Amino acid sequence: MRPKKRQTDDELMVRCGRGHTAALSELMDRWHGAAYRYAWRIFRNHHTAEDVVQEFFVKLFRNAGRYQPRGHFTTYFYRVLANLCFDMLRKRKRRRKIRAVQLDPIQAEGTELEPLAGEFDIDARIVSAEAKDAVHGALSALPVNVRKALELREFEGLRYREIAEVMDISLNEVKVLLHRGRKLLARSLARTPVGKDWQRRFGGRL
């Protein structure tokens, strides 16, 4: 008996658009790990990453009817996932700002919103933290589109053209974002062991 042909991601998305939950299960089996790794790197929290992944696949299924099967599922995957993650980040920052306005200035001192004077030593924090935490902190401070481009290139391994499709921008804009992002990241990490390691890996590009 001839083995059943493995369906492509595009074919599974078409089936999802017709309401087939088994197709969604197959997509989840294939892509859950990649989605989780991306979300975890953004939020650095297991429970948040799991919640984001669950919401992502629900969104994927609900919108599958509008999906155009052109052999670019990876691009679509990262576009939806990145937008979901960064929308959530923006909402979180907005909530923090609202809480900061509502908090009494004296009570707020020493919290994440208002660190105690003399304790906010960036160099000391980065040197004492693990490399991945230092890089995450530096990435978190970057403008959203710059961070998106860097995440997709350096961590997900997407090509420039794929990043352009994910972010709906030109190739030149991708190059500008990556160049700017590497410079900003290098500036943030330059005086740390992490920064020296990055410079060794990328041959001075950063």
Provide the pLDDT for residue 196: 64
Number of H helices, E strands in the chain: 11, 0
pTM, two decimals, is 0.70
Q: Are 16 and 24 within 8 A, CB to CB?
A: yes
Q: Are 156 and 94 within 8 A, CB to CB?
A: no
Q: Are 151 and 181 within 8 A, CB to CB?
A: no
Q: What is the mean pLDDT of each run of 10 residues along the chain (206 residues)?
A: 79 95 96 95 91 96 92 93 92 58 41 33 40 79 92 91 94 94 85 62 51
Question: Chain centroid to CA 65: how far?
Answer: 25
Of 78, 86, 84, 87, the residue nearest 34 (C-alpha): 78
Joined tokens for residue 36: 């989780």
Q: Where in the chain is the domain with CATH 1.10.1740.10?
A: 7-119
End-to-end CA distance of the chain: 55
Q: Where in the chain is the domain with CATH 1.10.10.10?
A: 121-206
What CATH number does domain 7-119 carry, 3.10.129.10, 3.30.70.20, 1.25.60.10, 1.10.1740.10? 1.10.1740.10
Q: Alpha-carbon distance 180 to 169, whole Å?
A: 15
Joined tokens for residue 194: 């992490």
Provide the pLDDT for residue 128: 42
- Please check whether the domain covering 121-206 is classified as CATH 1.10.10.10: yes
Exposed, middle or buried by CB within 10 Å (0-12, 13-18, 19+), for 67? middle
Provide the pLDDT for residue 74: 94
Q: Are 65 and 17 within 8 A, CB to CB?
A: yes
Q: Alpha-carbon distance 68 to 76, whole Å?
A: 10
CA distances from 141 to 60, 138, 157 (A): 29, 5, 21
Q: Alpha-carbon distance 166 to 180, whole Å?
A: 19
Q: Alpha-carbon distance 35 to 180, whole Å?
A: 26
Provide the pLDDT for residue 176: 95
